[in-house]
Amino acid sequence: MKNTRCTLDRLFDMFRTHGAKTLTMDDIAREFCISKKTLYQKYKNKEELLTEVLEHISSKAIEEVETVRKNHQCPIEIMFISGTRIDDATSQEKNAFVLQLIKYYPEVFHQHQKSISIKIEEILKQNFERGVELGYYRTDIPTDLFIKFLTTLLFSVDVSPLFEDIKDKKYISTGIKFFYLNAIVTEKGQQRLKELKTKYEELD
Residues 5-40: tens digit of each pLDDT: 899 999 999 999 999 999 999 999 999 999 999 999
> pLDDT below 70 — which residues of the chain?
1-3, 83-85, 87-94, 202-204
Q: Please give the pLDDT value at position 85.
A: 67
**CATH number of domain containing 140:** 1.10.357.10
In the chain, the number of structural domains is 1
User: Which long-range contacts (C-beta less than 8 Å, at least 24 apart) are formed by 119-127?
Assistant: 119/58, 119/62, 119/89, 120/62, 120/86, 120/89, 120/90, 120/151, 120/154, 121/147, 121/148, 121/151, 123/62, 123/65, 123/66, 123/69, 123/86, 124/150, 124/151, 126/69, 127/69, 127/75, 127/78, 127/79
Q: Please give the pLDDT value at position 203.
A: 54
CA 127 – CA 62 distance, rounded (Å): 14
Task: Please say whether the beta carbons of 13 and 57 come within 8 A.
Answer: no
Q: Please give the pLDDT value at position 89.
A: 63
Q: Please give the pLDDT value at position 82.
A: 81
Q: Please give the pLDDT value at position 193.
A: 96
Q: Tell me how long the chain is.
A: 204
The model's pTM:
0.84
Q: Please give the pLDDT value at position 172.
A: 87
Q: Would you give the DSSP letter of residue 185?
A: B
